[in-house]
Every structure is written in C-alpha cells, then in structure tokens.
Amino acid sequence: MPEFTNEEVHELYEKYRQRLNQQFEVHLEKSPKVVYSREYQQFKQESLPAHFTIYEQLCNMSERILRISTGQKTVEELQESINIIHLNITPQGAISFSLLLPLVIMFLGALFSLMVFGSTFFAMFFVFVGIAIILPVQNIPHFLANTWRMKASNQMVLSIFYVVTYMRHTSNLENAIEFASDHLAPPLALDMKKVLWDIETERYDSIKESLDAYLDTWRKWNMEFIESFHLIESSLYEGSEDRRLTLLDKSLEVMLDETFEKMLHYAQNLKSPITMLHMLGIIMPILGLVILPLVVAFLEGVKWYHLAVLYNIILPFSIFYIGKVILSKRPTGYGETDISEENPELKRYKKISIKLGSQEVLLSPLALSLIVFSVLFLLGILPLLLHAIAPGFDIGFGSPEESSTCGREFCLQAYRESKLAADTGESVMIGPYGLGASILSLFIPLSIGLAIGMYYLLSTSALVRIRERSKQLEQEFASALFQLGNRLGDGLPAEIAFEKVAENMKGSVSGSFFELASGNVKRLGMSVHDAIFNPRSGALVSFPSNLIESSMKVFSVSIRKGPKIAAQALVNVSRYIKEIHKVNERLKDLMADIISSMKSQISFLTPAISGIVIGITSMITTILSKLGELLPRIAQGGDNPGGVTGLIDLFGDGIPTYYFQVVVGIYVLQIVYILTVLTNGIENGADKLNEKYMVGRNMMNSTLIYVVISLIVMILFNMVAQSIMSRSLTA
C-alpha cells in the first residue's frame, strides 16, 4: 500500500470536500494542518505562562497591521523556536512585532519628550532605544525557547529515571512516558503529553515515531537525552530479560555521565565571562561613581537624570543581557522545580497564614509589601514634598553658621539658587543639598529593597521549607527503600514491612513517612495503596515529593506481581536515587568556587563599596558646595578678585547627594537582583522557586547593609568635611 505525505492527504481531503459541498451542500470544514485534542489545548492553556499569551496576541496583531517577510533561514530558525514553546504565531508575526514595537517607542517617546519636557536628550534616547531593541525583540522566540529548554532540561534526568523505573517492571514505552508525564512539572510534562497526544490525533502511527520526532528537537542541545531514550527503545526489542535491564540501566548511566562531563567543561569556561561581568557591572561603574561628583561639578548641563539613564537603564540592561548569554550556554540535565506547580494545593503557602481562634485567615504578601513601600517611600520623598509645600522652610542641627540656609552646620533642605540660571537672569532654586535630605533619601532604596524582599520571602519561604524537608526525605529515602526491599525479599507482607522500616529509622524523616503509612493501615484499616495515596490522610500529603510518589507508585504496581518483584524494583529505585544524588553533589562541587565568589559580591562587597562611595560623594559635594559659597566672599575682599572670579566660574551647580544616592541605591538593587538570578541559574538551572527566595533574602540583606554603611559613612565624612571647611574659614 503506497504511503502518502501529509500535504497529499490535505490536498485529497480538500478536493473531495469541495465536491461534497457543491453536490450535496455538506459544509465540511477545511482540513487543519495541526490537530490537537481538547485536553491538550486545555493543558497547554493552564501550563503556558501568561506572558506567552500576551506575546502571541501582540505578534498576531502586528502581523495584521504590518506584515513583513524576511529570509528563509531566519524564518526556519524562528519557526523552530516557536514550535519548541508551543506558540500560536508565525515567524512573520514575530518579525512584524520586532519592527512595530520600536517604531511606536521611538515615535511616542520622542513626542512625549519634546512636548512635555522639551528635552532633546530624552528624544534622542528613545530613538536610540528603539533602534537598539529591534534585534532583541525579534529574538524573543529564541529567548523564550532557551528559557523553555532550560526548564525542560532541568527535569531530563528525572524523566529518564521515571521511564526506566517504570519499564523495569513493565516493558511498555507508552505507559512509561505517561507515567513520567504524570510526575513531571511543566514544561517537560507538556512535551511528554504532546508525544502521546500526537498519537491520539493520528499525527504519528506509533509511539516510537512520535517520540523520535520530539527527540529530534533536542539534537542541537542535548544528545545524551536522545541517546538515553534510544537505549530505552532498544530494550523493547531484547529477548533476554537480563539484556533488557542492562540497557535500561545504561540509559540512566549515559544521562548522568554526559551531564557531569558537560558541566565540568562549563565550569572550566565560566571564570572568564564571570570576571568580565564583574568588571563591567560592578568594579568599573562603582569606580566611576567616585569620579562623577568631580566631573559633574565642573561640567555644565549634566543632571541627575542623565546619570539615571546610564546607571539605572543602560548598564543594568547590558549586564542582564551578558548574564543571559552566560546562562544560555549552561548545559542541561538537572535542577529543581516549583513544588506549587507540581501540587496546586501548596499554593496556599504563598500567602501569610494568621490564625484567629479556630479560623485561618490568608493575607497576600503583596498587600503588606505595598504598605511597607508606601510608608518608607513617603519618608524618602519628604524633602521634595516640603519644598513643594513650603519652599522657604528649612531646619538644621549642629553649631550656628550664618552662611547656611538654615543657620546651622547641617541643614535638612539646603536649597540654593542655580548658578547657571543666574547667568541668564532667572532665579531657579535647586537642591536639596542638605545632609538631612541625603539621609532621608536612603529610605527610597530601602523602601524598594524591603518591599521586594518581603514579598518574595513571605511568598516562598514556606514552600522552600517544605521542599527542603522533602529533599531531606529524598536523600534518606534511598536507604529506606533498600530496607523496605529487603524486608519484602524476606517474605514479609507490605503492612508489616512498613512497620519494621519505621522502627529501624525512628527519628528520621523517612521513619516518620513509613510510621504514618503504617498507622493508616493499623488504625484506619486502609489498604497499602490508600495508606500512601489517600488524598486526605495518605502519607504523601505530609511529604509532597514527586520522586517519593513515583517510587511508591512503582511499589504499588510491582507488589501486585509478588513481594519478590516488588523487592527487586525498590532496590533498583534506591540505587537510581543514590546515583542521581551523587552526580548532583559532584556538580555542585564543580561550581562551588564561582558560586561562593558571586554570593560574596551580592551579600556584602557590592552594597558595602557602594555605601562607602556614597559617603565619599557626600563629602565631596559638601566641600565643593562650601567652596562655592566661600570663593565669592574671598573675591570681594581679596587682592586678586579677577583670578578668584575665574576660579568661581569653574564650579557648576553639581548634583545633590540626594539624587546621586537614589541613582546609586537603585543601581545596587538592580545589580543584586541580576547577580542573584545569574547565580541561581548557574547553580540550579531554571529553579524559579529558589530564585525568588534568594532574591528576597539578598534584597533584604544587601539593602540593609547598603543603607547602614551609607548612613554611617555619610555622617562621618560630612562631619570631617565640615571640620575641614570650618578651619579653612577661620584661617
């Protein structure tokens, strides 16, 4: 029987569809190019992130407004990435969006800058941004596909583990893939389910064809994943049971060994790009901050928002891009997942639980974070509010000083008339230059850092504790499974074997698990299966772990074939878990030096150095400000007023420490966030739960270190500067 291609089938269908419509008025729908089951569409909608849907809508809308074609090679590369992330867009839509969005940004940004602010600088900035983002926006499908691959590849070792574990006792590839998809989280679960649904929708005739077509998408990035599955497929054709089991063991061994080798090369090549990132993102910008006050003081027209564009927009985005390039080269193969994605019931732990009597009230961490942000941010902008409400109001502290705006050494506001505006005959007040305002400005980065840190910590700390508890159980579980397998091998029933293992491992997490399962059997009269899997009181309710759940499902299925089969299955699962744990620990050792260096940058060095720079900046600004006030008095009573006047003309208005500190403080928070994401990505892959937890913890710690050091150094250096200037004035 001749084989027909998909295109020939569609042509044949279309031919007879039109004939039936004409002769019998039967209105058949056009043959779809891709057929998905309703369950797959629903699962896809639940699994894909919300920003995927927004991006789909924007691309499809852009294609309708401005359809642009490009080279065949670009189209093929974009289509490959679009297929990987299951987006309902075309390459032409992605390209149209990459041109339409920059055009909108350039037009609206330049129009707003010229009409509202009258700023040519910002108009040119938006034009530059629009041109610069054309290529990155066009590459969004590649970026999303790379993120998708990282998340999927984090689960690859586990996916091979689940398939091998199932096929050891039941040699059925289709059921093994379904077993793996049930225990994996998105996105690899979505890929596995699509392999099965492609058979249901008759896109492929067999599980092997569907699986091979899917594996082909990983050929460029993860050959060991493909090799492992090919070994698993080969086991189906082995007549010898020993040979079949050997091939299954070899598939997991290939996955673990190749993953370790790739990570070894990655760790060796990581030092150079990390050093470059450290120099470009931390050392050079912070050293530049020391010089900037002097540069700004002697240059006219440089404002604080020019620094903000450089330090809060251009530099962070450049560093973030370099970090993403470094992460894109990370090998695939291991990592953690968000347990709230695997078990939706755990999402309640993302909220703050408050018990009122017998009732439990759940509060959103976002609400508490917004309250903290609002209060602290209001304190931070207090000098600006006071100047807007009462322009002449000012208070101070310290010894009396006639030349200051508040009559004291240190003022809260210290607004003064702009020298540049005075040259044109205008009277413009600029500031605040006071030490009090500089101290209050610390509340702005404090409000942002604490709000972000509190939100992420409160929404993830409970889940992280649950996952760590489950990981501890997983580490112990290999020994527990080995003991359980030995008890079953001795001929004991499963109910008694649970009790024996619980007694031997009493006081451990694994002992608690089997004690709970044994108690369900004895006290509640449950079956072995219900004692573990009952949705209300089963042992897994208190120990949410897919690894443990899958191991117990293997036990539940194999025990039906007899205790000897179950014993052998558990011993093998125990061995697999130990091998996976051993490789993961070796991988962490490879990254230890780099990760520890980056963590020290995040936790102390970056905020501490930045805090010292703020203190130095405050001192320089104070000295230059006092000199600006002192030189006119010298010019009036000196012997060479012309020379002093020329020296006065060298000084500009300078940037107040208030704005300078806000720019630097926000830059510190941005660097902490970027380095945290990069560190977590290198160490754990696409582990969003740990990433959010680490961002929350680092934001809290780094913000407090930066604020405390800035406060102490600012006060000390200003007192030193005031003492120096006082002695100069009296002399």
pLDDT digits (tens, 9 = 90+) for 332-353: 545 555 555 555 666 667 777 7
3-class SS of residue 535: coil
Q: CA-to-CA distance for 497 and 503, rounded, in angstroms?
A: 10
Q: Residue 548: pLDDT above 50?
A: yes
Q: Residue 130: pLDDT above 80?
A: yes
Q: Residue 185: pLDDT above 60?
A: yes
pLDDT digits (tens, 9 = 90+) for 437-478: 889 999 999 999 999 999 999 888 888 887 777 777 777 777
Query: Tokens in use for 261?
Result: 């080798």
Residue 435: how many CA atoms within 13 Å on its side-chain side? 28
Residue 438: how many CA atoms within 13 Å on its side-chain side? 30
Mean pLDDT of 181-198: 80
Mean pLDDT of 96-105: 89
Q: CA-to-CA distance for 731 and 725, rounded, in angstroms?
A: 10
Q: What is the pLDDT of residue 705?
A: 93
Q: CA-to-CA distance for 454 and 695, rounded, in angstroms?
A: 10
Q: What is the pLDDT of residue 34?
A: 44
Query: Tokens in use for 547?
Result: 């690894």
Per the CB < 8 A criterion, the answer to whether 717 and 623 are in contact is: no
633 — pLDDT class (breaks 50, 70, 90): low
Q: How far from chain centre, in Å, is Cα 656?
A: 34
Query: Tokens in use for 264?
Result: 């070894």
359 — pLDDT class (breaks 50, 70, 90): confident
Q: CA-to-CA distance for 597 and 324, rounded, in angstroms?
A: 19
DSSP 485-499: HHHHHTT--HHHHHH
State the alpha helices, DSSP H only, in 236-364: 241-278, 284-298, 304-309, 315-328, 339-342
Among residues 478, 479, 586, which one has the least CA distance to residue 161?
A: 478
Q: What is the pLDDT of residue 30?
A: 46
Please give the residue that has the higher pLDDT: either 713 or 647.
713
Mean pLDDT of 507-516: 83
379 — pLDDT class (breaks 50, 70, 90): very high
Q: What is the pLDDT of residue 6?
A: 47
Q: Residue 703: pLDDT above 90?
A: yes
Q: What is the pLDDT of residue 702?
A: 92
Mean pLDDT of 509-516: 84
Q: CA-to-CA distance for 64 and 59, rounded, in angstroms?
A: 9
Q: CA-to-CA distance for 8 and 245, rounded, in angstroms?
A: 42
Which pTM was predicted? 0.72
pLDDT digits (tens, 9 = 90+) for 36-47: 445 555 555 555
Q: What is the pLDDT of residue 369?
A: 92
Q: What is the pLDDT of residue 373?
A: 94
Q: CA-to-CA distance for 554 and 556, rounded, in angstroms?
A: 5
Of 21-30, 172-181, 270-279, 311-320, the poorest mean pLDDT is in 21-30
Q: Residue 142 forms beta bridges with which residues?
A: none
* CA torsion angle 540 542 546 548 (round to 10): -60
Please give the residue that has the higher pLDDT: either 199 or 151.
199
* CA torsion angle 365 368 370 372 (round to 10): -130
Q: What is the pLDDT of residue 29?
A: 46
Among residues 214, 213, 210, 211, which one has the least CA distance to residue 202?
A: 210
Q: Share the mean pLDDT of the chain.
A: 77
Among residues 668, 660, 676, 658, which one has the least CA distance to residue 706?
A: 668
Q: What is the pLDDT of residue 36?
A: 46
CA–CA distances in Å: residue 213 to residues 4, 173, 208: 18, 15, 8
Q: How many beta carbons lie within 10 A of that of residue 371, not counting itself?
A: 12
CA–CA distances in Å: residue 76 to residues 142, 182, 222, 304, 583: 12, 32, 20, 46, 37
State the alpha helices, DSSP H only, in 113-133: 120-132
State the alpha helices, DSSP H only, in 601-687: 606-637, 641-650, 657-684
Cis link prior to 607 (omega < 30° from 0)? no
Q: Is 332 left (phi over 0), alpha (psi -120 to 50) or beta?
A: beta
Q: What is the pLDDT of residue 451?
A: 94
3-class SS of residue 448: helix
Q: Classify residue 330 by its DSSP letter.
A: -
Maximum mean pLDDT: which of 76-80, 430-434, 600-604, 648-652 = 76-80
Among residues 146, 183, 148, which one has the least CA distance to residue 163?
A: 183
536 — pLDDT class (breaks 50, 70, 90): confident
Among residues 487, 452, 494, 434, which one has the least CA distance to residue 658?
A: 434
Mean pLDDT of 653-665: 84
Q: What is the pLDDT of residue 708?
A: 93
Q: Rounded to 5 degrees, what angle do the CA atoms 716, 719, 724 make?
A: 125
pLDDT digits (tens, 9 = 90+) for 278-316: 777 777 887 777 676 666 666 666 777 778 888 888 888
4 — pLDDT class (breaks 50, 70, 90): very low
Helix 443-489 crosses helix 509-524 at what angle (to 10 degrees)? 60
Q: CA-to-CA distance for 359 and 263, rounded, in angstroms?
A: 49
Q: Residue 143: pLDDT above 70?
A: yes
- With tokens 């096929």, the residue in question is 167
Q: CA-to-CA distance for 695 and 465, rounded, in angstroms?
A: 16
Query: Tokens in use for 189?
Result: 């679960």
DSSP 30-86: PPPSS---HHHHHHHHHHS-HHHHHHHHHHHHHHHH------HHHHHHHHHHHHHTT
Per the CB < 8 A criterion, the answer to whether 274 and 283 are in contact is: no
Per the CB < 8 A criterion, the answer to whether 658 and 307 are in contact is: no
